[in-house]
Amino acid sequence: MDIENRVENIVTQIDSKKGEDIEVFNLDGVDYIAKRVILTTSLSNKHTLSLAYHLKDELKKSGEKILYLDEGEDWVVLDLGDIIVHIMSLEYRHKYSIESFLTELTEQK
């Protein structure tokens, strides 16, 4: 499966479990650790973990390998190598403003 189909599958899974404000950043041609970054906002701390574990289970079913999963109370990061998924509470998403950083990177292409 190519990267676009894999990203589409991830976004579909996130959306099906009520992840909000899903954004995908294409980092092809940018000096960054991944080719795509997917950000989504969770509804609560429990939703963050629930969404992450649902996504982990569904990705394994489709043959994806999760290289690393890191979690805190309000955030989870899944590293698939060429795709990184960030699931964050609204508070953490505003606090870390990853969108701003990634937008700046993509504008440098």
Domain CATH number, residue 26: 3.30.460.10
* DSSP codes of every residue in the chain: --HHHHHHHHHHHHHHTT-EEEEEEE-TTSSSS-SEEEEEEESSHHHHHHHHHHHHHHHHHTT----EEEE-SSEEEEE-SSEEEEEEEHHHHHHH-HHHHHHHHHHT-
Average per-residue pLDDT for the chain: 94
Instruction: Please tell me the predicted confidence (pLDDT) of residue 49.
Output: 93
| pLDDT over threshold 80, residue 85 | yes
Residue 30 lies in a domain: yes
Expressed as residue numbers, the domain containing 33 is: 3-100
Residue 107 lies in a domain: no
Instruction: Please tell me the predicted confidence (pLDDT) of residue 10.
Output: 97
Provide the percentage of residues in the chain whose pLDDT is more than 90: 88
Residue 91 lies in a domain: yes
Residue 105 lies in a domain: no
Instruction: Please tell me the predicted confidence (pLDDT) of residue 1.
Output: 84
Instruction: Please tell me the predicted confidence (pLDDT) of residue 22.
Output: 98
Residue 109 lies in a domain: no
Count of domains for the chain: 1
Instruction: Please tell me the predicted confidence (pLDDT) of residue 109.
Output: 66
pLDDT digits (tens, 9 = 90+) for 27-63: 998 989 999 999 999 999 999 999 999 999 999 999 9
